[in-house]
Amino acid sequence: MKLVVQIPALDEESTIADVIRGIPNDIAGITSTTILVIDDGSSDRTGEIARNEGALVIRHERRRGVGAAFRTGTQHSTELGADIIVTIDGDGQFNPKDISALIEPILSGNSDFVTASRFADKALIPVMPWIKKWGNNFMARLISTMVGSRFHDVSCGFRAYSRNAYLRLVLTGDFTYTHEVFLTLAYAGISIREVPLKVRGVREHGTSRVAPGVLRYGLRTGTIILRTYRDYKPLRFFSLIAFVLSAAAVCFFIFLMYIKITTGGFTPHKWAGFAAATLGGTALVVFLAGVVAEMLDRARISQEEALYRIRKLENEIRELKEKFRP
């Protein structure tokens, strides 16, 4: 079993060496471990230090975001023939020694996607600002509602993916990837498990590169979540919008009828009738767009399944070439 440990890093020269050194060389069930650092346009010595510590370093010439770094890392991990991919941040908040516990459900065949959970065990909840705790809890409940299963932590970057899981990922978000991955794999029917682990709640050095501000993080993450939900559940997405528009149209219509009954005419509130008609017509158009999008979603499912099989076949061919290489 080949393990590739991906570390997305941006200006982490203070901690990257300790993270790499902390990754165990001997993990039960793993025959080889490769450390892959994705240097997302660092302006310090992050890449140089990682390379000196024996890591394979892939560099983005400019900062593209942790989501883009994850896609770059997954692409290279695929080319390396990884059976399991582990993602761990380069800031030292996660303990690399916990990798063995994180990948155990995959090695035992009980799960294909495992995420560390900071909140599943109350005894392990880290010390962090209350606003971040609230934000993490809100995101967990939102994603849980969207996928129909209860999860306690959907934002943690310490995760493990089997080959069956990571080959199915088709991601688009550059800013982050954590929630998009959860939705994508849940809707693909991949088994997901949380493993409670002790995590440092506050960075030892500097500020978060992904979430320096809760509002900005929430807005950008929310956009990615809505876009993913739209792509995988288009009829539900557009029907919800159509329902809101229809409800507003009904309210305006009721108001107009009230004016008609109480005054005997529509003046000076004819605008309510135009508003009701406009909103009702828009709701119908939006609903029909959802019907069309649902039809197109069948094509997307077929394309993603074909892409998965192509990736799997490429991996098998690569392994055969390595096996019979002189």
Domain carrying residue 267: 234-323
Q: For the chain, give the percent of residues with pLDDT over 70.
A: 96
Output the pLDDT for position 128: 84
> Does 210 or 16 have the greater pLDDT score?
16
The pLDDT value recorded for residue 53 is: 95
2-61, pLDDT tens digit by residue?
999 999 999 999 999 999 999 998 999 999 999 999 999 999 999 999 999 999 999 999
Q: What is the pLDDT of residues 125-158, one digit of tens each?
A: 888 888 888 888 999 999 999 999 999 999 999 9
Mean pLDDT of 202-211: 59
Which of 24-28, 76-80, 120-124, 203-207 shows the lowest mean pLDDT across its residues? 203-207
The 3-class secondary structure across 72-118, one letter per residue, is: HHHHHHHHCCCCEEEECCCCCCCCHHHHHHHHHHHHCCCCCEEEEEC
Q: Are residues 196 and 264 both part of a single domain? A: no
CATH number for the domain spanning 159: value is 3.90.550.10
- pLDDT band at residue 176, thresholds of 50, 70 and 90? confident
Structure confidence at residue 213 as a pLDDT band (50, 70, 90)? low
pLDDT of residue 212 exceeding 60, the answer is no
- Give the three-class secondary structure for 192: strand
Q: Please state, in angstroms and rounded to a whole number, the distance separating the CA atoms of residues 280 and 297.
A: 25
Rounded to the nearest integer, the mean pLDDT of the chain is 91
Question: Is there a single domain that holds both residue 28 and residue 141?
Answer: yes
From CA 216, how far away is CA 218, in angstroms rounded? 5
pLDDT of residue 95 exceeding 90, the answer is: yes
Residue 197: pLDDT above 70?
yes
**Least confidently predicted of 84-88, 106-110, 216-220:** 216-220
Domain count of the fold of the chain: 2
Residue 259: half-sphere exposure toward Cβ, Cα within 13 Å? 15
Q: How many angstroms separate the CA atoms of 127 and 304, rounded? A: 40
pLDDT value of residue 202 = 66
User: What's residue 216's pLDDT?
Assistant: 77
Q: Are residues 48 and 193 in the same domain?
A: yes
In a shared domain, residues 39 and 182: yes
Are the CB atoms for 136 and 217 separated by under 8 Å? no
Longest dimension (CA), the chain: 94
Q: What pLDDT, on a 0 to 100 scale, did the predictor assign at position 215? A: 74
Domain match, 241 and 225 both: no
Task: Indicate the residue among 196, 216, 232 that finishes a domain.
Answer: 232
**Residue 207 reports pLDDT greater than 90:** no
Confidence band (pLDDT; 50, 70, 90) for 204? low
Position 321 scores a pLDDT of 84
> Final residue of a domain: which of 212, 232, 252?
232
User: b/e string for 254-279 if b means 16 or more Cβ within 10 A?
Assistant: eebeebeeeeeeeeebeebbebbeeb
Tokens for 63?
A: 């900062």
Which of 232, 248, 274 corresponds to the end of one domain? 232
Please tell me whether residues 166 and 279 are part of one structural domain.
no
173 lies in the same domain as 247: no
Residue 259 sits in the same domain as residue 196 = no
Is 163 in the same domain as 94? Answer: yes
Q: Do residues 122 and 42 lie in contact, with contact meaning Cβ atoms separated by under 8 Å?
A: no
> Over the stretch 266-302, which tens digit does the pLDDT of each residue have?
888 889 999 999 999 999 999 999 999 999 988 888 8
Prediction pTM value: 0.86
Torsion sign, CA atoms 211, 215, 219, 221 = positive
Q: How confident is the model at residue 206, as a pLDDT?
A: 58
Please check whether residues 118 and 28 belong to one and the same domain. Answer: yes
Q: Is the pLDDT of residue 65 over 70?
A: yes
Same domain, 17 and 61: yes
| Position 64 pLDDT exceeds 80 | yes
pLDDT in tens, 228-252: 999 999 999 999 999 999 999 999 9
Lowest mean pLDDT, pick from 15-19, 60-64, 260-264: 260-264
Quick one: 210 and 261 in the same domain? no
User: What is the spatial distance between Cα 77 and Cα 30, in angstroms, rounded to a whole number?
Assistant: 15
- Please report which helix (H) or strand (E) contains residue 125, including its range: none
